[in-house]
Amino acid sequence: MRWRLILAALVAAGASTVAVAEPGAAAPARDAYADILPAPVSARPERGAFTIGRHTTITAGPGARGVAEQLSAILHVPVASRAPKGGNTIALAVAGRDQGDESYRLDVGPGRVTLTAGRAAGLFAGVQTLRQLANGTSIPAGHVADAPRFAYRGAMLDVARHFFSVAQVERYIDQLALYKINTLHLHLADDQGWRIMINSWPRLATYGGSTAVDGDPGGYYTQAQYRAIVAYAAARYVTVIPEIDMPGHVNAALASYAELNCDGVAPPLYTGTDVGFSSLCVNKEVTYRFLDDVIGELAALTPGPYLHIGGDEAHATSQADYVTFMNRVQGIVAAHGKRVQAWHQVVTASPLPTTVAQYWDTTNVNPQVAAAAANGTGVVLSPANLAYLDMKYNDSTPLGQDWAALIEVADAYGWDPGTYLVGAPTSAVRGVEAPLWTETIRTSADIEYMAFPRLPAIAELGWSPASTHDWAAFRLRLAAQAPRWQALGINFYRSPQIPW
């Protein structure tokens, strides 16, 4: 009843437009099926509506129970073993396993809602659509058939420059899941801090993780806490990819263990924001024993297939040493049963057939990356001038940076990942990712202000068919999300480009 009371209060306060299922949603002023974000493959409204009432139940076929229980918690509707007589049922079923992992079909009629998918991940994606369609106790009738354009739709959170608690990371995971983002890339180590306990090298966390940018408080995750984040994400069909940046961006590690330095002298901890000045000692065997331990422990904690090994801005490492280092570390990752993801500079070494290069440059022309993609290297696109969420919206944005660009919502939305990188075949593009570096970010409210509304824009580029990408339509669908964000307590930037 609580969410119905909140709904009544918002309506009384004058809220008038939204098409979401969140507490506090008011009646939609336009076709809810036209407002789904990310845009589905197809959506068609029908006459009538499904009403959620005292006798409504959720039923779950084999493999659907977990998602059904999550929907139950959202709608405050019980999960039953069988449908009641007379209908009024929301039925979830895993069927047709020849479908893609995240494809789903949603059919809403006056007495029954049916959500089917080839995998539980598809059911979860369908539930996010259902949440947007539901309006208080009513879900408008209609049909949705949907599947993602790209398998990889990610967001990166830098917890190294500033540390964020388990609860803060979990809050961000919930927000990612709302828009069918299925990958959380955690940047766990950099010059300013090391954020994961490595039992065989404990000073990495206890000393290397003791500070942050500007001398702000540091912190680190115990292995139990990291496992909790991974499990929380997995329950929302989000895969965690941990990153230990190397061979540069390693001052926190060098400060923690003197033997990792070529001269055997540990530098002081660093709280600035410069890049490119630190490097592991490529010619010392202890470096690779250290990395074998770190990668081994991290691989054991991480069920997902990828570990991210950084590889960017290694200005203090010669190119010859960089190639030697990256090739050897790729082998270490493979030996621990994982695949490599790395920033796109990895293509200047010898990428393994399974290595994925993450492209972050500010131009769509990079012959080396395009050639690697043409030769089979997978590419995740995160162009800094379009997808970096830490870039300012405009000159007066109080947070963020502007070295790559000023990125308004139209900029974040106005590119096609499938054709962006000149010379790279679309088949090599694994998907998109929106990184958020945190030199200026300290709170969850800061994260949200920089992510919303640009994060849903990147999410749509990753999920929706290219044929649906239309700025005029998107800005209206994005505007319809604002009351939802307000009801969920999400801080966001009110871009003048959007008719809020």
Instruction: Report d(CA 485, CA 448) in Å as an integer.
Output: 10
CA angle 246, 248, 249 (to 5 degrees): 95
The radius of gyration of the chain from alpha carbons, rounded to an integer in Å, stands at: 23
90-112 burial, b at 16+ Cβ within 10 Å, e below that, comes to bbbbbeeeebebbbbbbbbbeee
Helix (H, G, I), strand (E, B) or coil at 406: coil
The two three-digit tokens of residue 297, written as one number: 């422990």
Type and span of the H or E element at 47: strand 42-51
Instruction: Report d(CA 336, CA 352) in Å as an integer.
Output: 14
313 is catalytic: yes
Type and span of the H or E element at 323: helix 319-335
| Residues facing residue 60 across a β-bridge | 92
480 torsion bin: left (phi>0), alpha (psi -120 to 50), beta (else)? alpha
Type and span of the H or E element at 288: helix 285-301
Which residue of the set 313, 433, 439, 460 is catalytic? 313
The two three-digit tokens of residue 389, written as one number: 């969420």
Question: In the β-sheet with 79-80, what is the strand arrangement from edge to edge?
Answer: 42-51, 138-146, 104-108, 112-117, 89-94, 57-60, 79-80
Q: How many CB atoms lie within 10 A of CB 13?
A: 10
| Residues that are catalytic | 313
